[in-house]
Structure 1
Amino acid sequence: MEENGSSYDDRQLKKCVVIGGRRFIGRSLVERLLKLGNWIVRVADSNPSPQILPSESILSRAFSSGRASYFHVDPLNKPQIIKAIEGVPVVFFTDSTGSFPCDFCFCYNVIVQGAKNVVNACRECKVKRLIYNSSADVVIDITRDILNGDESLPYPDQFQDIVASLKAQAEALILSANDIDGLLTCALRPCNVFGPGDERLIPFLVNLANSGWAKFIIGNGANQSDFTYVDNVSHALICAEESLDSQMVSVSGKAFFVNNLEPMKFWEFVSLVLDGLGYQRPIVNVPAWVVQYILLLMKLMRIKLNGGKLDYFVSVHYVANLAAHTRTFSCSASQKHIGYSPVVSLKEGVALTVESFSYFARDSPFSKYNKSVEQSKANKLLGSGKVADILLWREEKKTFTCFLLLVLLYYWFFLTGRTFISSAAKLLLLIISVLSGYHMLPPNIYGFAIPRVSSSCFEISEVDMQEIFLIMASLWNSPSHVARILAQGNDWSIFLKVSALLYFCKLMVSHSLIIAIGVALVLAFTLFFVYEQYEGEIDGIVKVVSSRARKEVSKLPMPLTSILPECKPLEEMGSSQHTLDQIPNQGKLRKIKAVPNDWTI
């Protein structure tokens, strides 16, 4: 059998199982094992089928030739695990490194109970070596920095999130099972894994850049971090297996830090990724304590609104902690005992990662599609056009220019003490004077060509005029439609909304129209931006308030037309001794020919 130019017979081939083989790190490990050519790989994962991508030609050929096989394995189903690992001497356990929903029971079952089931299955099946892919997060204390930390670091008293706490428990379980029933175990702790197929760090940074928050640097930006390219993690896992196979006492039952051996500033790494994808680098420093308080407030709000569940807020909190602290680790133990050294440099890894995420790039033909699928409500509300780009601060220079221009116009018309007509006349006179002076300039001044203003700049196309009239018609039709609904008296919610809006306008105008316009100008450039960033929280608050308001509105007296929507003539109803409750509700109110004297309304 031949792979990458090397041939092996069946006696030389080693068998292994990769649990989580269709996840981020598992995919890379499976591909690397198959490239080595001396492995028969069983891919075990919770997906019902392997779902091979077009780029995974090596795996596809391995499935066809029998070098690889697939097993559907639920980590909570021990018999399925036993079926997958039976007769195999080596198990690589690489659980998911993506975002977990913040449901403690779910996370505990997948991470801790899953690890228990794997260990017990390995002992029953007489597996010789179990290598667990853990994380450097298991020793990170959110209250302090770590500089060149080593394996002597204890588990912290306060973990940064639920997932880190549970992974520490899973790691301890697997290491404590070492040398029981002939099973040798060890664990690797990669730090900030990234690469093609990343489900956590890179997508989060891209979403941050699309939302406009990636321009901010938390703290002074000097904090250092270690990063690990995914192929280096796969290489380290294979090195650990070879060391266990050699019966090295210094490896079994131990955990080892793994990274690219190139610590760098966290924000420099972020800048490399965002630059490669065409996004703006972080440039504005924000104190770390301010961000922590904002995140704490958002966390409490999300708990309140979602019945005590945090959803996927953990990833935000995780990256915020990562971005504000120094977290570097020494790999001297892994270099000495398992023979690890990176096979892909950090620079090359970033380049390969950026290339694999090219569909996220700002100028990618897919980027508009991605944004249109997940565009915010604020963007939809503003029409998803130029106005939305300006008010949502998509391009800071353009937005600031428009804001400055509007502020100058506001000053010219309202703060100079002139009447509106005289201000407009002076502005037109100023524009005409500037255009006339510009027209009288020579074509060249000291070698610099002076461009001429095209006559098309002063013309309005027929299409533009149609759009203007359509906008005017829409502006007229919308309030007229609301007025028609109010005149019918059937919709209390519209009535309350209009009343609240008019009362707010009355309060603003009663103090000063000039102040009201100034406040509106500032709010236009802030409210939509803030709403886009905290859309979920604001919608949750509005939902709570509106539900309360609907309960109060339901207590109001209903219009007569809704109480008596349709009545038949009394002659058709038979008896004259009827109450209002006995009149059938069948639609529109008809004319009543006679009303008995004993009826009261």
Structure 2
Amino acid sequence: MSSESSYTPSLGKVVVVGGCGFLGSHIVNLLIERHPNTRVFVVDLRTNTNRNASANISYHDADITDYAALEPLFSQFRADAVIHTASPHFNAKKDILEKVNVGGTKTLLKVAQETGVKAFIYTSSSSIVLDPKTELHNADETWPLITGDAQPEYYSTTKAYAETAVLQANRTPANFLTCSIRPAGIFGEGDVQALPKMIGALRKGQTKFQVGDNNNLFEWTYVGNIAHGHLLAVQALLQTHKLLPTVPLDSEKVDGEAFNITNGQPVYFWDFARAVWHEAGDTVPLSGIWHLSWEFAFGVGAILEWLFWVLGKTPNLTRQQVRYSTITRYYSIDKAKKRLGYAPIVDLDEGIRRGVRHILEQEDRQKQKKGQ
């Protein structure tokens, strides 16, 4: 894919579903920056946060599980492409995850198919191939999906079911093209999960502890790189659409396919955490770190979960976090490189600087408000 095609002024009309969320807002901002003449429609349950002031963007409150509300909206848009990033938090209740991730995605597909959308890009998750025991070493898109009883995280099961529905909808009708983007370990400005928890641990003086021996490589991805991957997918599908009814060679095919998108820089889990803490001002030397065994931390996590469950709260250490911080989990992005022309645009160190700086600036603003 040429660099020229990467910066065309317009992609036509693009709907970003979940465009006021963490990833969605980054996609909207990059879309306007890179393709300034594109008409962007942001659809979210509530559109009062992370708004871009561009005149080419309009905001629309809507529930993606409500077909009766979506159909007239999409009929009005007459969009060329849909980027679907909306999803509840991974710890949401099962019925909410099922309703939004599976039901909402199927509703969006139906509406998009009926209103002439050409390209549909779904934000899936790299976790859909992760089980509690198998470590992922350079896992590619051919690895089997882990769902149902084999998948302890219901969030991942629903993301897998949604991705399957999206890819099965490809070329139904023949001019409706779909693909899926699988991010891994997303972080950056506006992140509400990874970086805030790490900075919270720093503020509580918990950086002296480490679970495991830190020999597990882990994949973290700066949010801007994931936004970049989505836009490349939009372009590729729209380009394929222009060539219909021709079907690309298997080695070039984007429609009906899933793509891992990462920074391509797997790092040892605690090295990433310590880079975040160092950027935020932590000065604890490596010699001062206490190493907790996996077994000990897992047992403590189980006890804390039970005690906090009685209190109706969530502890700082859970069994899930112990698994998360001690498992090897990294992915191959060769497919995205070859078929989308993908390469990370922000490296890991710069991504950490941007993400931590954003949090520190927010903290400073809050202090100033309190001091007024």
Give the TM-score band, short-chain normalised. 0.7 to 0.9
Q: Give 2:109's aligned amino acid.
A: V
Contact 1:17 1:43 in 2 (8 A): yes
- Alignment match, 2:269: 266
| Secondary structure, aligned partner of 1:357 | helix
- Alignment match, 1:89: 80
Contact 2:308 2:314 in 1 (8 A): no
Equivalent position to 1:200, from 193, 200, 204: 193
> Structure 1 residue 71 and structure 2 residue 69: aligned?
no
> Structure 1 residue 323 and structure 2 residue 321: aligned?
no
Q: CA deviation at 1:240?
A: 1.0
Q: CA deviation at 1:209?
A: 2.3
Q: Distance in 1 between matches of 2:158 and 2:344?
A: 28
Contact 1:140 1:160 in 2 (8 A): no
Q: Give 2:45's aligned amino acid.
A: S
| Secondary structure, aligned partner of 1:186 | strand
Aligned ranges 1:92-111 → 2 under 5 Å: 92-96=83-87, 99-111=89-101
Larger relative CO (CA 8 A, sep 6+): 1 or 2? 2
Q: CA deviation at 1:172?
A: 1.4
The structure with more helix, counted as a fraction of residues: 1
| Secondary structure, aligned partner of 1:328 | strand
Contact 1:100 1:312 in 2 (8 A): no
Equivalent position to 1:209, from 202, 211, 225: 202
Q: Distance in 2 between matches of 1:315 and 1:341?
A: 35
- Alignment match, 1:33: 31
Seen in structure 2, the aligned counterparts of structure 1 residues 317 and 38 have a Cα distance that, compared at 3 Å, is: farther
- Alignment match, 2:117: 127
Contact 1:194 1:201 in 2 (8 A): yes
Q: Give 1:319's aligned amino acid.
A: Q
Q: CA deviation at 1:316?
A: 4.7
- Alignment match, 2:159: 167
Equivalent position to 1:137, from 120, 127, 133: 127
- Alignment match, 1:118: 108
Q: Give 2:70's aligned amino acid.
A: I
Query: Normalised by the size of structure 2, how large is the TM-score?
Result: 0.85
Contact 2:195 2:356 in 1 (8 A): no
Equivalent position to 1:291, from 292, 297, 300: 297
The structure with more strand, counted as a fraction of residues: 2
- Alignment match, 1:457: none
Q: Distance in 1 between matches of 2:157 and 2:354?
A: 31
Seen in structure 2, the aligned counterparts of structure 1 residues 360 and 212 have a Cα distance that, compared at 3 Å, is: farther
Q: Give 1:23's aligned amino acid.
A: G
Q: Distance in 2 between matches of 1:107 and 1:367?
A: 36
- Alignment match, 1:573: none
Q: Distance in 1 between matches of 2:96 and 2:369?
A: 33
Mean Cα displacement is larger for which, 121-130 or 294-303? 294-303
> Structure 1 residue 278 and structure 2 residue 281: aligned?
yes
Q: Give 2:178's aligned amino acid.
A: T
> Structure 1 residue 23 and structure 2 residue 17: aligned?
no
- Alignment match, 2:4: none
Contact 1:101 1:312 in 2 (8 A): no
- Alignment match, 2:348: 346
Q: Deviations over 1:285-310 (max 9, x none)?
A: 1111221222223334455555xxxx
Seen in structure 2, the aligned counterparts of structure 1 residues 43 and 317 have a Cα distance that, compared at 3 Å, is: farther
Contact 1:244 1:252 in 2 (8 A): yes
| Secondary structure, aligned partner of 1:214 | coil
Seen in structure 2, the aligned counterparts of structure 1 residues 316 and 187 have a Cα distance that, compared at 3 Å, is: farther
Q: CA deviation at 1:94?
A: 0.6
Q: Distance in 2 between matches of 1:206 and 1:267?
A: 14
Contact 2:305 2:318 in 1 (8 A): no
Q: Distance in 2 between matches of 1:142 and 1:70?
A: 40
- Alignment match, 1:3: none
Aligned ranges 1:356-395 → 2 under 5 Å: 356-359=358-361, 364=364, 366=366
Q: CA deviation at 1:314?
A: 11
Q: Deviations over 1:317-361 (max 9, x none)?
A: 543322101111010011011111111111111111111111477
- Alignment match, 1:257: 260
The number of residue pairs the alignment matches comes to: 346
Q: CA deviation at 1:111?
A: 1.5
- Alignment match, 2:336: 334
- Alignment match, 2:171: 179
Moved over 6 A (4+): 367-370
Q: CA deviation at 1:159?
A: 2.3
Contact 2:305 2:314 in 1 (8 A): no
Contact 1:42 1:84 in 2 (8 A): no
Aligned ranges 1:492-507 → 2 under 5 Å: none
Seen in structure 2, the aligned counterparts of structure 1 residues 40 and 316 have a Cα distance that, compared at 3 Å, is: farther
| Secondary structure, aligned partner of 1:213 | coil
5+ long unaligned stretches in structure 2: 1-6, 241-247
Q: Give 2:80's aligned amino acid.
A: P
Q: Deviations over 1:257-291 (max 9, x none)?
A: 11011111111110111111123557221111221
Q: CA deviation at 1:119?
A: 1.1
Contact 2:202 2:282 in 1 (8 A): yes
Q: CA deviation at 1:137?
A: 1.0
Q: Distance in 1 between matches of 2:317 and 2:229?
A: 26
Aligned ranges 1:442-461 → 2 under 5 Å: none
Greater C-alpha Rg: 1
| Secondary structure, aligned partner of 2:134 | coil
Contact 2:225 2:345 in 1 (8 A): yes
> Structure 1 residue 46 and structure 2 residue 31: aligned?
no
Contact 1:161 1:314 in 2 (8 A): no
Seen in structure 2, the aligned counterparts of structure 1 residues 227 and 164 have a Cα distance that, compared at 3 Å, is: same
Q: Give 1:19's aligned amino acid.
A: V
Q: Distance in 2 between matches of 1:165 and 1:315?
A: 24
Q: CA deviation at 1:50?
A: 3.4
